[in-house]
Structure 1
Amino acid sequence: MATPHDALTLQMLRWISEGARSYAEVLDVWKSTCPRLTIWEDACADGLVDSAPGMSGRVSLTEKGRRLLSRDFSAPPRSDSAS
Structure 2
Amino acid sequence: MKKSVFAAVLIGGLMTGAGLAQAGEYSCKVYCVGPSGTTTVTVRASSASEAASIVDKQGHQVCQAAGHRGASTQTMGTSQCR
Shorter-normalised TM range: under 0.3
Question: What is the TM-score normalised by the length of structure 1?
Answer: 0.23
Higher strand share: 2
Question: What is the TM-score normalised by the length of structure 2?
Answer: 0.23
